[in-house]
Structures are given as C-alpha cells and as structure tokens.
Amino acid sequence: MSDVRVNADQQEEGEQQQNLVKAPVKRSLGLLITTYGCLFVGSIASSLLAKYYFVHGGSSRWVSTWVQSAGFPLLLGLIYFPRFVFKTTKRRPFTRFTHRHLLFSVVIGLILGFNNFLFSWGTSYLPVSTSSLLLSTQLIFTLILSVIIVKQKVTFSNLNCVVLLTLSSVLLALGSSQDKPAGLTKTKYFIGFLSTIGAGLLFALYLPVTERVYRSVYCYAMVMEMQLVMEFSATVFATIGMAFDGGFKDMVKEANQVFTKGPTVYWTVAILANVVTWQLCFAATSGMVYLTSGITGGICMTALLAMNVIGGVVVYGDAFGGVKIVSTVLCIWGFSSYVYGIYVKMKKDEEKEEGHTGMKTVEDGGELELEMGKVKDDVAAADER
C-alpha cells in the first residue's frame, strides 16, 4: 500500500510539474501579445487620466501617487482565478515564493513608490506630451544598467533604437522653453522637468533589476505574485505620505468642493479609473520584462510614449509644433526598426529550426527557472544579432 501511495504521489507531482513546465510556443506568443495590449491601453489611459486629475482641480500629489499602486488587490484575480475558478493550473498560489523573493519585492516596491511620487510632481506641472517624451530619456540608462546588471549585449538593433529614442527626447528638451503652460512659473516648470527626469532614471533602474530577480521565477503567475507585493509596498509608501500630508481629507474636500466635474466623476474617473489603468500598466510592464527582457520592456514603454504625446494633443490641446513632430517620428522610427529586427531574426530561426519547441529549464541555486520558450529566446537572439 505504501508503494502504491508513493507511486500515486509521484505521478501527481509529475503531472503538476508537467503542467508548470510545459508552455506551448503559441500560448507564450499569445500571452506576449495580450500583455503588450494591456500595456498599450494601461500606459496611454493612465497618463491621460493622471493629467485629468490635475486639469480639473485636483492638487494633491500624494493622491496622484497613491492611485498609481492602490489597485494591487486586482492582481489577486490573476493569481487565484487560474487555479480555483478556471482550473487551468494545479499550481498553488505563492508556491516557491521564498523570503528572498519577498525581500526583493518589498525593496523594489518602495523604490517604485518614490518613482510614482516623482512622476506625480512632473505630471502636475508639465503637459502630457512634454512629460511623456521626457520619460523616454530612461531608455539610454536602461541599456547601460542592463549591461551592468544583467550583462545585456549591446547590438546594432538595440543601440540604434536607443539612440533614436534618446535623440527624440533631446530635441524636445531643446525646444521645451516654448511649451511652458500659461501661468506656470519657471521654478515650478523646472521642478516638474527634473521630477520627470528623476522618475525616468528610477524606472531605468527598475527594469534591469526586476529582470535579474525574475531569473529565479519559473512562471507568469509568480511574476504577478511579486508584483502584488511590490504594489502593496508602494501603496504603503504613498499611504504614509498621504497620512502626514492630510491627503485623505483632501480627497473628500476635492470631490465635494474643488473638482470641477463634480464628486461622481471625481470618484469614478479621477480615482477609480486611475487605479485600474495604472495597475494594468504596471502589471503588463512586469509581464513584458519577464517574457522578454528589461531593455525590450523599456523600448516598448518608450514607444508608447509617442502615443501619449498624440493623446495629450488630442485630449488636452497640447501644442504640437515642429520639434514634437520630429521627436514623435524618431520615437516611432526607433521602435519600428527594433521590432522589425526581432521579426527578421524570428523568421530566420523558424526556417533553420522547424519544429523547435523552445523549452528550457535551468537549475539556479535550487530554484527552477522556466523561461517562456521561444518568445524569450527569439527576442534574446534578435538582441544578439
């Protein structure tokens, strides 16, 4: 009986391990496309809604910081639904989630919270189009830090993209003096300018650091688990700031007396919609880093900033002169060339290795690491081109 029970346990464990390890290429590619779709929607919507809060009377930067991470409970659905509702996996939530993962998640979350605060300062003073293009300066630092932290190879494909996107930001900076909103002092504009640059630099550190940490993560669900802890830590940071600054009282006052669109729009659009879209943006960013790499995630985020520029012009009437047009074209050109390089490399690899499953498992310090098959391998191969 004991032998039979042992065999049954081993069989169940084997099935669970098989369920954890096998990730078909089509499913991985579909997950990548879905993740980028969420990033597309989350990035554009969150940037526009963040500005919407300030445009219509909101003034608390701590409230703006808080809504960027307060939606972390939404991640519980991504963590628990696959096992208990959809029955698509046998993995229990937080399996193999070690104290090391917890520590890194908390530290990164606190850094993310401060990054959110800097972003809120910049957004409160600068037009959406200006702040979006300024944030793209993080890309050159992402590449440098990726080389140092994760040994990212510098190739023509990623270097060309980084140069074009960075040049886009330089052009904007040279013409930024004409983009200062009416009534805004030079001091406040300078503070907003530096805060946005600082937010970009911290985000540049965030991407390769999370990529390094994700090397000990073996499934997408575990990425969401770490993201939950990160966002919780960032929310604690923002909540403490709000408590000392009276932010919670300001929310009620703003909703009833200050916000020009009324309390209903304040709570549903300025607060709730902000919470949802920011969580969508950050969760998708983590997913992109896990499925590809930190530099690829940074490039995708930076390319979306061009759409934020257009969104700022359409929604808020931001000025869109010659400098911004050239900057946007360079931004789109850089991202398109990078994506095309990946596509060409993937097609060549498919011709050479037909039927390749793309699965790879690695033992690293006792932790099972599962890279998402051909999706991640093809992106890495394109970088090495």
Question: What does the pLDDT look like over 221-270, one tens digit per residue?
Answer: 899 999 999 999 999 999 999 888 877 888 888 999 999 999 999 999 99
Mean pLDDT of the chain: 79
The answer to whether residue 379 sits within a structural domain is no
Q: Kindly tell me if the per-residue pLDDT of 209 is higher than 90.
A: yes
Name the burial class of residue 289, with classes exposed (0-12), middle (13-18) and buried (19+) by CB atoms within 10 angstroms of its CB: buried
pLDDT, mean of residues 6-28: 46
Distance CA 372, CA 25 (A): 8
Residue 147 burial (CB count, 10 A): 14
Between 316 and 173, the higher pLDDT residue: 316
Confidence of residue 38 (pLDDT cuts 50, 70, 90): very high
Looking up tokens 């990730």, which residue turns up? 23
The answer to whether residue 369 sits within a structural domain is no
Share of the chain above pLDDT 90, in %: 32
Q: Kindly tell me if the per-residue pLDDT of 165 is higher than 50.
A: yes
Between 185 and 79, the higher pLDDT residue: 79
The answer to whether residue 377 sits within a structural domain is no
Question: Residue 85 has what pLDDT?
Answer: 82
Q: Kindly tell me if the per-residue pLDDT of 23 is higher than 60.
A: no
Looking up tokens 């098959």, which residue turns up? 373
The answer to whether residue 361 sits within a structural domain is no
Question: Residue 322 has what pLDDT?
Answer: 76
Between 368 and 358, the higher pLDDT residue: 358
Contact in structure between 293 and 150 (CB atoms under 8 Å) = yes
Kindly report the pTM of this predicted structure: 0.77
Closest by Cα among 203, 231, 365 to 294:
203
pLDDT, mean of residues 19-43: 72
The answer to whether residue 368 sits within a structural domain is no
Confidence of residue 10 (pLDDT cuts 50, 70, 90): very low
Distance CA 233, CA 123 (A): 22
Question: Residue 306 has what pLDDT?
Answer: 67
Confidence of residue 172 (pLDDT cuts 50, 70, 90): low
Distance CA 94, CA 252 (A): 37
Q: Kindly tell me if the per-residue pLDDT of 295 is higher than 80.
A: yes
Q: Kindly tell me if the per-residue pLDDT of 168 is higher than 80.
A: no
The answer to whether residue 325 sits within a structural domain is yes
The answer to whether residue 5 sits within a structural domain is no
Q: Kindly tell me if the per-residue pLDDT of 342 is higher than 80.
A: no
Question: Residue 178 has what pLDDT?
Answer: 57
Contact in structure between 117 and 238 (CB atoms under 8 Å) = yes
Between 52 and 308, the higher pLDDT residue: 52
Question: Residue 249 has what pLDDT?
Answer: 82
Segment 94-130, tens digit of pLDDT = 988 999 999 999 999 999 999 999 989 888 888 766 7
pLDDT, mean of residues 158-177: 72
Number of structural domains (the chain) is 1
Segment 147-160, tens digit of pLDDT = 899 888 877 878 88
Distance CA 65, CA 234 (A): 9
The answer to whether residue 23 sits within a structural domain is no
Q: Kindly tell me if the per-residue pLDDT of 301 is higher than 70.
A: yes
Q: Kindly tell me if the per-residue pLDDT of 372 is higher than 80.
A: no
Q: Kindly tell me if the per-residue pLDDT of 371 is higher than 70.
A: no
Provide the residue range defining the domain that includes 60: 29-348
Assign 90 to helix, strand or coil.
coil
* H/E element, 364: strand 361-364
